[in-house]
Chains A and B, each alone.
Chain A
C-alpha cells in the first residue's frame, strides 16, 4: 500500500531513522506564497477573473447603448439589478451594480471552483501526497489552502470593482453622488464607500469558501467537489426564494448578501451588515473545523 497513514501527533510522514524537522514559522509564508503563485498562474483562475472583469464591461456598454437616446436605464420602472438607474448620472454606481449583479452567482461560483479544487484537485492530480511529504503538516496545509481561497475572494471582488470603476469612468460622468437615502456625499467619500463595499462583498464569500473547502476534503475528485459546491449554492439561493421557508432563511449563507447596499444609506444601516458578517464567521468556523476534522483524519491515497 502506498498510503501516507494518518498518524496523529506526527502528521508529516516520518522517515525511518531521521528526526522530524520542526517547520519554521516562516515556512508557512513560503507555502502560502507557493500556493498563491500556483493558483493565480492557472489558466482556469485567469479565465475566471477575466469573466468577472467582463461583467461590468457588458453592463456598462449595455446601459450606454440603451440610454443613448435619452431614455432611462432599466426601463425607468426600477427593474434590473440594484442601483442600475443611477449609473448614467454617476459612473461610480456601476461598481455597486456590478457587485450586485455578480454577487448572487458569478462570484460564489468562482469561489466554489477554487475552493472545491483546493484539496480534491490535488488528490485528483496525485500531488496531495507530495504536498504532505513536505514537513508542512495537514492543519497548516489546510489553513494555507483556505487563506489562498480567501485571497482569491478578495482579488475576484476587487477585479470586478476595478473593472467597473474603469468602465464607469470611461463611459459615464463622475462626481458627487446621491445616496439611496437622498443625501449627497462627495466623490471621495463615495470611492471610500465603494472600497468598503468591495471588502464587505469579499467577506460575504468566506462562508461559501469554507463550505467548498469542506466538500473538497470529502472527495478525491476535483470536479465532484466543484459541482457539489456550486450545486449547493444554487439550491440555497432557490430555497432563499421560497416564502414558506422564511423561518430558516436567516441562516442561509446567502440571505444577507445584498445587505452591502446598506452601506449606501445615510446614515449607514448596520444591522443586516453585522448579521451577514456574523453568519459568515459562523459558517467559516463550522465548516472550517469540519474540514479540519475530516482532513487531518483522512487516509490520503492519492
Chain B
C-alpha cells in the first residue's frame, strides 16, 4: 500500500488515518478469499469426489480371472492415460535424435508406427481408443496441438501424423492386423493380458478390494511374485465389475516409489463409436508411405526391449516365473563401446552402468527401475526384471 500521507499531524487525524488504513486493508480480503476458496476447491473436490470404494459382491481371484478371460467387449471408446517411469534418465533430445535419425536415414516416414513406440516408453501420454468389433479400431496419441492416429478398418491399416501431415498405409490380412494390435499395448486390457500370461505357481493372485475407475465400479486384482529377487513389486489390475474389462493397470516396482507403468481409462464408454471414426482418407497433399516399402526396415528396427531381446539369436532363459533371466551371447567384445561409433551414446551408456565383478569375471550392470541388464566383458548379456544381485548370481551359476 502506498504510504498514507498526512499533512496535519493532529491526534484526531492520526486515529482517522489508522481507521481508514484498516478499511483499505480490509478490501484485500476479497482477492485473498478468492485464492483461498480456489485452493480449497482444488484440494477438496477430488477428495470429496472420491466417494470411497464401491460395494460389490465378494468374488474370488479365480472368478475374476475368468471374468477377464470371458470378457467380450467389442465396442468401446475412451480416453486412456499412460504414465511410464522406467527410471531412465530423461532421454528427450537423445531419444528423438536417435529416432528421427533412424527414420530419416532409411527414408522412413514419421507416421510409421514403429517410430512412435519409443515415445510411449517415457513420460505421461494421453491416448484415445475406439473399437468396434475385431475389424475396426483406432488408437490416437494426443500430442500438443497434434495427434498421431493408428486406424484399423477391415483389412486396411492407416497411421496418420497430423504434425508432419504424413500418412502410413498398409493392407493387413486379418492375422497380421492382430499382430499390429499386439505391438502397441495401449489399452489396460493389453497390459493385463500380458500380465496374466505370467500367472503360474510362482505368483500370488488375490482380489484386493474394489475401486472406482473412470466412474465405473471395479474389482482390483493384485498380482504379486512369490519369489524374492524380482524387481516387480506388484501388479494391480482394476477390472470393470459389469463387463470384466480391465480398466486400469498399475505396475509398482519392489523398490517402492511411483509406479513404473500406470495405464488406465479416465473415460470409457461401451457404446458403439460413430462409424466415421474409422474412416480415413489421407488429406490432400499428405505424404503417404506404403507399408510394403518399409517391410525390410521393420525387421531391422528394434521394437522396444522385449522384442529386441526376442529378435536376437542364441537367446536362452534362466530361472522361471518372475525371476527368469534372458541370456544371449552377442559374440562380440562385450560392451558396445566403440562399436556404435557414436561417442555421445557410448559415454552416455557408460555413465549409466555399474561395474561389477564375480565368479563369471567382470561386467557392467545397467539398471532401470524395472529391468536390469548385466553385460559381461566376454560379451554375454543377462537381462531380466530381477535385482542386480540376482543377475550376478545367475551369471555365476551359468558359468
Contacts and interface: CB of A to CB of B under 8 A. Distances in A.
B287 A289 contact: no
B322 to A, nearest CB: 33
B280 A289 contact: no
Interface in A259-297: 261, 265, 269, 282, 285-287, 289-290, 292-294, 296-297
Interface string A147-191: 000000000000000000000000000000110111110000000
Interface string B268-292: 0000000011011101111100000
A72 B23 contact: no
B35 interface: yes
A100 interface: yes
Interface stretch (B142-150, B256-264, B363-371): B142-150
Contacts of A183: 276-277, 279-280
Contacts of B160: 182
Contact of A1 (B7, B20, B281, B285): B7
A72 B31 contact: no
A182 B281 CA distance: 8
B95 to A, nearest CB: 15
A285 B34 contact: yes
A299 interface: yes
B84 interface: no
A65 B277 CA distance: 35
Given A180-B162, A285-B34, A299 B4 contact: yes
Nearest to A183: B276
B119 to A, nearest CB: 13
A82 interface: yes
Contacts of B149: 181-182
Contacts, number: 116
A82 B164 CA distance: 10
Chain A, interface size category, equals: 35 or more
B31 A286 contact: yes
A293 B147 contact: no
Contacts of A290: 28, 30-31
Contacts of B163: 78, 82, 85
A170 to B, nearest CB: 18
Nearest to A83: B145
A258 B146 contact: no
Interface string A43-65: 00000000000000000000000
B250 interface: no
Contacts of B79: 269
Contacts of A294: 27-28
Given A72-B287, A100-B145, A183-B276, A293 B28 contact: yes
Nearest to B77: A267
A97 B165 CA distance: 14
B287 A181 contact: no
Interface string B1-44: 11011010000000000001001100110110011001000000
B22 to A, nearest CB: 11
Contacts of A296: 27
Nearest to B25: A297
B34 A78 contact: no
A290 B7 CA distance: 28
A285 B5 CA distance: 30
A286 B164 CA distance: 40
A25 interface: no
A229 to B, nearest CB: 17
Contact of B165 (A86, A258, A282, A285): A86
B266 to A, nearest CB: 8
B206 interface: no
A182 B4 contact: no
Nearest to B104: A77
Contact of A77 (B110, B142, B146, B151): B110
A194 to B, nearest CB: 15
B114 interface: no
Nearest to B276: A183
B134 to A, nearest CB: 21
B30 A293 contact: yes
Given A181-B149, A285-B38, 11 more contacts: A74-B164, A77-B100, A77-B110, A178-B283, A180-B145, A180-B147, A181-B140, A182-B149, A294-B28, A296-B27, A297-B27
22 contacts: A1-B7, A6-B24, A82-B146, A82-B163, A83-B145, A86-B285, A90-B283, A178-B283, A181-B128, A181-B140, A181-B147, A181-B162, A182-B162, A261-B144, A261-B145, A285-B38, A287-B31, A289-B31, A290-B28, A293-B31, A297-B27, A298-B2
Interface of A: 1, 6, 8, 72, 74, 76-78, 82-83, 85-86, 88-90, 100, 177-178, 180-184, 243, 258, 261, 265, 269, 282, 285-287, 289-290, 292-294, 296-299
Interface of B: 1-2, 4-5, 7, 20, 23-24, 27-28, 30-31, 34-35, 38, 79, 90, 100, 104, 110, 126, 128, 140, 142, 144-147, 149, 151, 158, 160-166, 276-277, 279-281, 283-287
